[in-house]
Amino acid sequence: MNSLDILRSAIRDVPDFPKPGIVFKDITPVLSDPQLFKLVIQHFVQQCAGKNIDKVAGIDARGFLFGATVAHEMGIGFIPVRKKGKLPFTTISHSYALEYGEAEIEIHTDAVTHGERVVVIDDLLATGGTASASIRLLEKLGAQVVQAQFLIELAFLDGRAVLDHTPVLSLIKFD
């Protein structure tokens, strides 16, 4: 079994979470295994190679785990994209639809400077609402979003379609 197969098998399904009918992809077994966690981080870093990335934006909350680690490995800054009301300084926000409700995210207005090249990282791409909102916020502040990376993509929900012009990279796809 190759490392991607081992990684895929470590992701467990949790039925009816956070509500009936949703099958949640639980990555905590990946996070608790240092070799699998390292594999994911190495993949994200490799996908950034040669792209002159200035900062990594991680989406609340599991995107923080991967994004901050990738930023550290690359020696660049990290931007937390948070749920509304969680950031202490001046922010801009964006509302969007989730696959099971609605939400609003925000970032600090000084998170990026005009022209900075940013990669967005999160654990999961489903309908694309959260990633799309993150990209819109970053672009509104003048960032150039170079790509969006995900550990998991639920391809059957076609979330990449709402990310328009942003290249999407995912390590594991579930059809």
Query: Rounded CA gap, 39 and 20, in Å?
Result: 32
Q: What's 24-77 look like in SS3? A: EEECHHHHHCHHHHHHHHHHHHHHHCCCCCCEEEEECCHHHHHHHHHHHHHCCE
Predicted structure pTM score: 0.95
93: which strand partners? 106
| Residues, the chain | 175
| Sequence spans of domains, the chain | 52-174
- Catalytic sites, residue numbers: 62, 99
Q: What are 6-42's pLDDT values in tens digits?
A: 999 999 999 999 889 989 999 999 999 999 999 999 9
CATH of domain 52-174: 3.40.50.2020
Q: Is 6 helix (H, G, I), strand (E, B) or coil?
A: helix
